[in-house]
Amino acid sequence: MSLRNRVTLASLGVLGVGLAIVGVTLNLVLANRLSADASSVLRERAASQLATLDTSGPRLAVHDVTGDAVLDQQAWVFDLDGRVVERPPGDDREYATARALSRVKTPTERSIDERARLLGVPAYDRDGKRRVGTVVVGISLAAYERTEHLVAAGTLLLSLLVLAAGALLARRAVDAALRPVASMTAQAAQWGERDLHRRFDLGDPRDELTSLAATLDGLLGRLDAALRHEQRFSAEVAHELRTPLSGLRGEAELALRGNRSDAELRAALDRVLAGTDRMAAVIDTLLTAARSEATGPPGSSDAAATIRQLASAQVEVIAPPGPVTVGADQDLVIAAVQPLVENALRHAEHDVRVEVRRAGADVLIVVSDDGPGVAEEDAERIFAPGFSSAGGAGLGLALSRRLARAAGGEVIVAGSAFELRLPSTALQ
């Protein structure tokens, strides 16, 4: 069952229960009021019948009143011994019930199959001290029953009409509410894997569904941006690998030519090895980045000990004597720092310095050199894949930042230095 039908049926169920409660309550109140009205009529008839009694003689008698035919209908008078003083012609069942009521000592009502109701009232003399008999009056309940049936039928009919109107309104309301979903479904069904640039574009959020559409538009925007970034990044990686691959092919072709001395062949093989090392470094860096982004920063390591491995005649390392642990393994730290050091070596005049220090809950690895530094307008552009001011492929700094972010850190330009910030953690 569709969501539209489920919501409509749920609305109708709630409306139906409400109408049933109202209808039952209304009919119960009406039945109670009709019953009270019937009892009131019986009491009035009994009082009128008592007023016609003659208790002055030795026997109970009834005064004849002109035009009392209506009063005598369904009215019985019994003396103290149970003899009938007056009775109307009619149903023996009513007479049997009236005779049973002739012995009551207090006003008592009895119903006969919900079609008639009788009231027995003891009769006393004028002083109200001596009981002289009993007056029993009755009333037909047919009119009351018809009224109850008509009201019940009217209530049912009205409830059905209200339920039908409610179904129509609920269906229209649900259709209007789910119209954005239908539009989104139709649009999404037409989109392909290359249509991430498209948006649902339902306008400003007005309710939960349009807010969902706006959220999905934002998600599509982020996915589109990530896809474009990955496409650009893949293109730059391909370029970075194609360059040493072309060099390897060229060196191999030259080596296969004749009249090459052993020294020339050895030099060519050395250049081939250097090219393969460059390709292996790029591939290892990409694999480290992919692993970190997929599973999170793996383990932890001593950043100070890792950085000390970079010390050389051109690179000065400054690190605390004790361990400085970060939430990334040694391979990731080296892969993130190496491009920064290589960049500093390309632009330094003489010296390159790598310093490790704690900064609150983080660890800073600062790579600086005595070169001209980075222009302010290039502080962010240099991290874009493909950007290079030295003629290279411009991949190293982009990989460094990518690895740092995969470990929960960041790489920024701070004046004439690069700061690699990594989260500090206990050594596992």
How do residues 205-240 score in pLDDT, each as one tens digit?
Answer: 777 677 777 777 777 777 777 777 677 667 666 766
Q: What is the pLDDT of residues 167-195, one digit of tens each?
A: 999 888 888 877 777 777 777 766 765 66
pLDDT at 194: 62
The lowest-confidence range among 58-72, 128-142, 253-267, 367-381 is: 58-72
Q: How would residue 391 be classed by pLDDT, with cut points 50, 70 and 90?
A: very low
Contact 149, 142 (CB under 8 A): no
Reply yes or no on whether the pLDDT at 162 is more than 80: yes
Closest CA to 97 of 110, 113, 85, 108: 110
In angstroms, the CA 97 to CA 106 distance is 16
| Residue-averaged pLDDT of the chain | 82
Reply yes or no on whether the pLDDT at 147 is more than 90: yes
pLDDT at 363: 93
Q: How would residue 427 be classed by pLDDT, with cut points 50, 70 and 90?
A: very low
Reply yes or no on whether the pLDDT at 39 is more than 90: yes
pTM over 0.75: no
Q: What is the pLDDT of residues 240-288, one digit of tens each?
A: 677 667 777 877 777 777 677 778 778 878 878 877 877 777 777 667 6
pLDDT at 34: 93
Between the CA of residue 381 and those of 58, 139, 179, what are the distances in Å? 128, 101, 44
pLDDT at 305: 92
Contact 79, 59 (CB under 8 A): yes
* Cα 367 to the center of its chain, rounded Å: 48
Percent of the chain with pLDDT over 70: 84
Residues 6+ apart with CB under 8 A from 25: none
Encoded tokens for 363: 């660890």
pLDDT at 23: 93
Contact 46, 135 (CB under 8 A): yes
> How would you list the strands of the sheet with 362-369, edge to edge?
315-318, 352-359, 362-369, 417-423, 410-414
pLDDT at 267: 82
- Cα distance between the two ends of the chain: 53
Reply yes or no on whether the pLDDT at 353 is more than 90: yes
The lowest-confidence range among 51-55, 74-78, 240-244, 376-380 is: 240-244
pLDDT at 69: 55
Residue 197 gets which letter from DSSP?
Answer: T
Reply yes or no on whether the pLDDT at 68 is more than 70: no
Helix (H) or strand (E) segment spanning residue 25: helix 3-51
Encoded tokens for 13: 């169920």
pLDDT at 217: 75
Place of tokens 């600062």: 366
Best-predicted range by mean pLDDT among 30-39, 80-89, 319-328?
30-39
